[in-house]
Structure 1
Amino acid sequence: MHTLRIFTIGFVVAFGCPLFGQDSKSTEQPRRLYLDEFRPQPSLQVEEHILTKAKFPCVNVHTHPKKLTDAELDAMVDAMTEANIPVSVSLDGVVGPEFRPHYRRLTERYPNRFVVFARMDFIGDGDKDKPETWAVNQPGFGLKTADALSEAVKLGASGLKLTKMLGLYLRDGDGKLLVPDDPRFDPVWQRAGELNIPILWHVADPIAFFRPTNEYNERWEELFRHPEWSFHGKDFPEHQELIDARNRVIAKHKQTTFICAHMADVPEDLKKLGSYLDRYPNMNVEIAARVAELGRQPYTARKFFLKYGDRILFGTDGVPPMSELIPHFRFLETYDENFPYEDNPFPPQGLWNIYGLGLPDSVLRMIYHRNAERLIPGVKEKVAAWRKRN
């Protein structure tokens, strides 16, 4: 019988594995490893399906191409073409003078390949180090921003992107964190509904980021590398407080469509997320950067995707190369087992592999493109143009 003992000392893991019936003193002792040196290679032999393109035209509703060079942008579009992604949504527009150049760069250089969402400008002409000077803390911010959103839509915006800055970083004139359901934003939520554009909202981060960074935190190594990602303590709200505040906005603005990023920031509890979708018919979700969480619970996730397939959209976050798109397609389309969710040799979101859901074509079509065509202005026409050309 083999025994395995794991000791964590700071960032160190030591292994001892004496063989049965053998004097451990006579065996060679494995050297002590740092945790970031540990690269286990599975001995498991199972079928693999390396999918380099989506089975159906796929709309990526969560990308960030603004800072790319022209060459990098060309590479992104090449990867989209190879992967059967006719349209990507850039979430990098900003209401005001910055919107037009970003929109024109994408849509003129690559006709029919992008739609662009706008973002609120919280700071305006204020001093970034003095919250009391920020635009968000000036009278009439909500209505002014709503009007700026209307102007962005006239210029081509297809939606509004909201980041976790609201709830975790944005402060009022007294230095207190603003809550996501602060009434100053009501004119913006209402205007989005009147304009018939969706709000794609990232309100929190993984639950582990709101818990103590200790030996019980399953994302400890990630938080060790990025301590600035921890929202435990200080004056940060609890994870559920942010979720509840966002949900109150969704409940209040029933005529506005919401696409909640990263599986509504609760992929760790799909039963809870399902209760939200049941309660709020104007709420939808997208899978960006949460395949790692979904793929380690394949039975629960498959049931969820079959039940709520008309409310789930495809997304990746960032600007994924083919190597990062492949796990997404395998997760959705195959029954592959125990495969990496990232091309990074040291997984960034948890020390585990994932499993495929093997979704039926009817659900895949909804997740890949039909839900985006229904919810996001401009997408349906661009997908149709792609089909005509291909």
Structure 2
Amino acid sequence: MRLAFVCFLGSCAAALAVPTLAGDGTDSKDGPQAATTADRPTPEPPLDGCDGRELSVRHFDPVPQLQVKATLLTRAKTPVVNVHTHLFYRLRQNEQALADYVSEMDANNIAVSVSLDGKLGSQLDEHLKQLWKRYRDRFVVFANVDWQGDGATDNPATWACHRPGFAERTAEQLRAAVDDGVSGLKLFKRFGLGYRNPDGSLVEIDDRRWDPIWAACGELGIPIIIHTSDPAAFFEPIDSANERWEELSRHPNWSFHGDEYPSREALLAARNRVIARHPKTQFIGAHIANNAEDLATVSKWLDEYPNLWVEPASRISELGRQPYTARDFFLRHADRILFGTDGPWPAQRLHYYWRFLETRDEYFPYSEKSPPPQGLWRIYGINLPDEVLSKIYHENAARLIPGVAQRLEKYEKRR
């Protein structure tokens, strides 16, 4: 017997469904089809809260009733240098996908994109060839350290980084790459959270074995963009108090909570020691130095380390929920903030970046996805002055990253 619930004017009543007999339908006077119809489960009534059924947070997708100004921006106010994209891994070396991305750049006033996917060796060569065959004036490329080399993935003892002279050889590779036009070095978050020593321990960010690499970048005049740690919530238990529970429940492998990993504070401190040890090398802290939840601390870092820069890729979700603090931060450090997205993203995602930086709009999405990917909230614009926008959008990148200024000049002439 089925039990169905109905709700009348705010009070709930139970109604008993007509009992149905199990069987194959052969004893029904109306034939098999009638029995099949009767066996269908009764559709559940709307989830209106009357009967005590709970709504999963994954299905909570409210439509705001707030009526506020919505500024639809489809193009940045000034030319943009996007210093954080992943074109090798996201576009898969597909020529049509690359052409479509360039069209999206044109539509959004993105003059130059920085691809961070140039792993030293054949991947770098392949990536440069693909990007520069038709669009050399629109892209610069950062190299990546090949920690594994020809070693076995599941046997860190065989990895190239644990062989004598690795850092010096990598420095030489970087010199050759810069001669070929490479503009910087990217370090992924597995550096500190994934790469292992032969004894199984994690490779430490501030291990002095790697110092020749960082020093070489300073000598070559190329910046290092470094992704260290992850959002604060990823280091907390996945429980009812975790504000990113919904996201982590879909991606439990994104969690770094527990004794298997260093604390978030230890990772960030190790990175900062490297920055302090190499004052002649410029470092870009990806994702607002991965501490967008605590801009006061990031501000202290920028004051303490004059060779540190930051960019907001995949962090307008954090910045936009603290608009007063974020605006003050951007104004104070306007000479040290670059623009980045972590894309390529759909055009709508880019439009939210322009809206966040250029308007005073309230309570709008930061992503085209539903549910939003980095927290179940909306954001507010910080309405930066034009002179600050110009610095963040392109002027700072032109000062810092080799090859950008020349490409910007060509873009301006073509406009």
Smaller-chain TM-score range? over 0.9
SS at match of 1:351: coil
Q: Is the 8 A contact 1:250 1:283 kept in 2?
A: yes
The aligned residue for residue 281 of structure 2 is 256
Query: Deviation per CA, 1:76-105, whole angstroms, max 9, x where unpaired?
Result: 111100000010000010112321221121
Once the two structures are superposed, the pairs formed by residues 321-360 of structure 1 within 5 Å of their partners are 321-360=346-385
How far, CA to CA, are the matches of 1:127 and 1:32 in structure 2? 48
Unaligned runs of 5+ in 2: 1-6, 14-47
The aligned residue for residue 29 of structure 1 is 50
Which one-letter code corresponds to 1:96 in the other structure?
G
| CA shift for structure 1 position 107 | 1.4
Once the two structures are superposed, the pairs formed by residues 366-385 of structure 1 within 5 Å of their partners are 366-385=391-410
| CA shift for structure 1 position 321 | 2.0
SS at match of 1:74: helix
Among candidates 148, 151, 160, match of residue 126 of structure 1: 151
How far, CA to CA, are the matches of 1:382 and 1:182 in structure 2? 36
Among candidates 74, 81, 92, match of residue 52 of structure 1: 74
Among candidates 293, 296, 304, match of residue 329 of structure 2: 304
How far, CA to CA, are the matches of 1:148 and 1:364 in structure 2? 36
SS at match of 1:264: helix
How far, CA to CA, are the matches of 2:333 and 2:218 in structure 1? 23
The aligned residue for residue 184 of structure 1 is 209
| CA shift for structure 1 position 326 | 0.6
The reply on whether 1:147 has 2:172 as its aligned counterpart is yes
SS at match of 1:316: coil
Query: Deviation per CA, 1:319-366, whole angstroms, max 9, x where unpaired?
Result: 112111011000000000000000002111000000000000011000
Which one-letter code corresponds to 1:38 in the other structure?
F
SS at match of 1:313: coil
Q: Is the 8 A contact 1:171 1:178 kept in 2?
A: yes
Among candidates 186, 190, 200, match of residue 165 of structure 1: 190
Which one-letter code corresponds to 1:383 in the other structure?
L
- Give the TM-score normalised by the residue count of structure 2: 0.87
The aligned residue for residue 212 of structure 1 is 237
SS at match of 2:136: coil
How far, CA to CA, are the matches of 1:229 and 1:23 in structure 2? 42
| CA shift for structure 1 position 71 | 1.4
How far, CA to CA, are the matches of 2:284 and 2:384 in structure 1? 21
1:126/1:346 CA distance change after superposition, 3 Å: same
1:23/1:225 CA distance change after superposition, 3 Å: closer
1:154/1:339 CA distance change after superposition, 3 Å: same
**Structure 1 residues 107-116 or 289-298, which shifts more?**
107-116
Q: Is the 8 A contact 1:62 1:318 kept in 2?
A: yes
How far, CA to CA, are the matches of 1:137 and 1:28 in structure 2? 59
SS at match of 1:86: strand
**Structure 1 residues 341-350 or 24-33, which shifts more?**
24-33
The aligned residue for residue 313 of structure 1 is 338
| CA shift for structure 1 position 235 | 1.8
The aligned residue for residue 225 of structure 2 is 200
How far, CA to CA, are the matches of 2:140 and 2:377 in structure 1? 34
Unaligned runs of 5+ in 1: 1-17
How far, CA to CA, are the matches of 1:239 and 1:352 in structure 2? 24
The aligned residue for residue 14 of structure 1 is none
Q: Is the 8 A contact 1:292 1:353 kept in 2?
A: yes
How far, CA to CA, are the matches of 1:136 and 1:90 in structure 2? 24
Query: Deviation per CA, 1:9-46, whole angstroms, max 9, x where unpaired?
Result: xxxxxxxxx99xx8744798276432222210000000
Which one-letter code corresponds to 2:136 in the other structure?
P
SS at match of 2:293: coil
Q: What is the CA RMSD across the aligned residues, in angstroms? A: 1.6
The aligned residue for residue 38 of structure 2 is none
SS at match of 1:98: helix
Among candidates 114, 117, 121, match of residue 96 of structure 1: 121
Once the two structures are superposed, the pairs formed by residues 257-276 of structure 1 within 5 Å of their partners are 257-276=282-301
Among candidates 69, 72, 84, match of residue 109 of structure 2: 84
Report the structure number with the largest CA radius of gyration: 2
Which one-letter code corresponds to 2:65 in the other structure?
S
Q: Is the 8 A contact 2:171 2:213 kept in 1?
A: yes
How far, CA to CA, are the matches of 2:70 and 2:368 in structure 1? 15
Q: Is the 8 A contact 1:162 1:202 kept in 2?
A: yes
| CA shift for structure 1 position 72 | 1.2
- Give the TM-score normalised by the residue count of structure 1: 0.93
1:78/1:139 CA distance change after superposition, 3 Å: same
Which one-letter code corresponds to 2:128 in the other structure?
Y
1:28/1:49 CA distance change after superposition, 3 Å: closer
| CA shift for structure 1 position 165 | 1.1
| CA shift for structure 1 position 128 | 0.7
Which one-letter code corresponds to 2:347 in the other structure?
M
Which one-letter code corresponds to 1:92 in the other structure?
D
Q: How many residues align?
A: 371
Q: Is the 8 A contact 1:66 1:102 kept in 2?
A: yes
